Amino acid sequence: MRKEVIDQLLADREVRQPAAVLTWLESGDQKLIHPDDALSMPDLADALVQAFRLDKSQTVAGPDGEIFINIYNPPLRMVIVGAVHTAQFLAPMAEMAGYDVTIVDPRSAFASEERFPGVKLVAEWPDQALPEIGLDTRTAFLALTHDPKIDDPALTFALDSDAFYLGALGSKRTHAKRRDRLVEQGVAEDAIARIHAPIGLNIGAVGPVEIAMSIMGEVTAVLRGRDGSV
């Protein structure tokens, strides 16, 4: 791999920018691209979108011969606002699935090492913590406190981000009230539509363990471009 390609990959890694290196197998020519570049390569667009989504390097047929797509995605992250009971089960599930987990909750009695051993905890209000953390295309964001004072500012920030998944705990009635509050704060309806609420796949989950399972399932479905239906 050429030095300039390696240098660009390292720079992309620093800023959590997904990238891919295309290698034309016959000629050995290489090109580094980012997800937005796929639109300018119609012959490869579908394969590139799928490769980025699935974290899967692969060889595809191009107009000038076979091309090896080598994917360099940043690690997945999950940012959970709310050190609640469900988060205690969700955090280890997410870590097993390859996510770096961060839990944000200003209530230090909830966000404790005893309740979340080994998990990164940020005991600050979301509007202070989230700009520092950053939410990008490889980040799933969850608002789980059920407290509008904490969840609403967090969602307002997240809705203006590139997070690939946004979810919020609460019933349909709770979410309708949440939507009204966000609209009053100037959040656009089409932005609010990004929120998965009630959060999680509709599997009839009962209790925090099953709710965590349903959330992890929905996050995975969105990441992989599925709608979660059977």
Question: Measured in whole angstroms, how far is the alpha carbon of residue 28 from the centre of its chain?
Answer: 34
Mean pLDDT lowest for which of 51-65, 80-94, 179-193?
51-65
Residues 31 and 117 in one domain: no
Q: Assess whether pLDDT exceeds 80 at residue 15.
A: yes
What is the mean pLDDT of the segment spanning 93-117? 95
What are 79-98's pLDDT values in tens digits?
999 999 999 999 999 999 99
Classify residue 108 by its DSSP letter: T
Residues 204 and 125 in one domain: yes
The residue out of 39, 56, 72 marking a domain boundary is 72
Residues 98 and 56 in one domain: no
Per-residue pLDDT at 228: 57
Residues 54 and 106 in one domain: no
**185 part of a folded domain:** yes
| Residues linked to residue 68 through DSSP beta bridges, in sequence order | 23, 59
Residues 136 and 213 in one domain: yes
The residue out of 51, 72, 93 marking a domain boundary is 72
In sequence order, what are the residues at sequence separation of 6 or more whose Cβ sits closer than 8 angstroms to the Cβ of residue 172? 197, 198
Classify residue 38 by its DSSP letter: G
How sure is the predictor about 18, in pLDDT bands with cuts at 50, 70 and 90?
very high
Per the prediction, the chain carries an average pLDDT of: 93
Distances (CA, A) of 201 to 38, 67, 151, 171, 186: 30, 37, 20, 13, 29
Per-residue pLDDT at 48: 93
Predicted TM-score of the model (pTM) = 0.87
**pLDDT above 70 covers what percent of the chain?**
98
Residues 107 and 21 in one domain: no
Paired tokens of 145: 């406190």
Residues 85 and 113 in one domain: yes
Q: What is the dihedral of CA 205, 210, 216, 222, to 10 degrees?
A: -10
What are 195-222's pLDDT values in tens digits?
999 999 999 999 999 999 999 999 999 9
Residues 212 and 126 in one domain: yes
CB-based contact 158:122 (threshold 8 Å): no
Distance CA 142, CA 154 (A): 9
Q: Assess whether pLDDT exceeds 90 at residue 140.
A: yes
**228 part of a folded domain:** no
Per-residue pLDDT at 178: 96
Residues 59 and 89 in one domain: no
How sure is the predictor about 230, in pLDDT bands with cuts at 50, 70 and 90?
very low
In sequence order, what are the residues at sequence separation of 6 or more whose Cβ sits closer than 8 angstroms to the Cβ of residue 123? 105, 106, 107, 108, 111
Residues 27 and 51 in one domain: yes
Q: Which domain holds residue 109?
A: 76-223
Q: Rg of the chain's alpha carbons, rounded to an integer?
A: 20
Residues 82 and 135 in one domain: yes
For the chain, the straight-line distance linking the first and the last C-alpha, in angstroms and rounded, comes to 42
Question: How many domains does one find in the chain?
Answer: 2
**177 part of a folded domain:** yes
